[in-house]
Amino acid sequence: MSVDLKTSAASGEVWLIRHGETEWSRSGQHTGRTDIALTEHGRDQARALARPLAAQHFDAVLASPMSRAIETCRLAGLGDEMIVSGDLHEWDYGIYEGRTTADIRKTEPDWNVWHSLIPHGESLSQIEVRARGVVESLLAMLAQSGSSGAARRIAVFSHAHFLRVLAGCWIGNSAALGAHLYLDTATISMLGFDRENRAIRRWNARPEGCE
């Protein structure tokens, strides 16, 4: 489904929230389909998200089905509004699941998730198709008219690589652009518009008290 931004407000916001710390995010291990829990520090990070998020009204709250994203959403105070979407799961790293880039490069010196083959996982083109579908869905949701006539706001709880891919597809229909967008745990980023152009309005903002 394609949304014509000329007929929509083109003024809504999509807030991207990366989940809190896990043991694997701390060690740099690629965490795709493995359903690993937040650390206690990760839970503290998620709780620190509650204050800035409580100051906003969200018309929709979406979350990856992974427990680390769901728990972050709940601890951040938006669990009652949460809708779980399988399209928001992390990149499927295939045979590289659970390994660090440094470890992989011991046998594959030029390996990079952004341009290397990922056997039994998702290629860059495959995750781009998934992310473009999410962008279209978000645009459709933003284009809906609210009862107050105010611009709509959506929260998305997901994972580092997928949110980077999503942002790349938002601004340039390209998953590869995500390689240039670093993202910490438990941070808030915002996608929106500059007039009719899709834009990144904020990136990798760490809430007060979230280290």
pTM for this model (two decimals)? 0.92
Structure tokens belonging to residue 187: 């941070």
Question: What DSSP letter does each residue of 76-116 carry, written as one string?
Answer: TT-GGGEEE-GGGPPP--GGGTT--HHHHTTT-TT--TTTS
Contacts of 65 (CB under 8 A, 6+ apart): 84, 85, 86, 88, 89
Q: b or e along 86-106 (b: 16 or more beta carbons within 10 Å of the residue's beta carbon)?
A: eebbbbbbbebbbbeeeebee
Are 188 and 15 in contact, with CB atoms under 8 Å apart? yes
Catalytic residue among 13, 21, 71, 90: 90
In the annotated binding site for substrate, the residues are: 31-32, 68, 90-93
**Catalytic residue check, 19:** yes
**Does the structural domain 5-202 have CATH classification 3.40.50.1240?**
yes
Grade residue 11 by pLDDT with cuts at 50, 70 and 90.
Answer: confident
Q: Sorting pLDDT into bands at 50, 70 and 90, what band is 150?
A: confident
Helix ranges restricted to H, 144-208 = 160-172
CA 112 to chain centre: 20
The answer to whether residues 122 and 92 touch, using CB atoms and an 8 Å cutoff, is yes
Asked if 186 contacts 210 with a C-beta cutoff of 8 angstroms, the reply is: yes
Q: Binding site: what residues are annotated?
A: 31-32, 68, 90-93
Cβ atoms of 62 and 153 within 8 Å: the answer is: no
Domain boundaries of the chain, sorted by first residue: 5-202
Q: What is the tens place of the pLDDT at every residue in 183-197?
A: 999 999 999 999 989
- pLDDT tens-digit profile of 76-105? 999 999 999 999 999 999 999 999 999 999
Residue-wise pLDDT tens digits, 36-63: 999 999 999 999 999 999 999 999 999 9
Q: Which pLDDT does position 125 carry in this prediction? A: 96
Q: What is the pLDDT of residue 211?
A: 62
57 tagged catalytic:
no
Q: What does the pLDDT read at residue 1?
A: 38
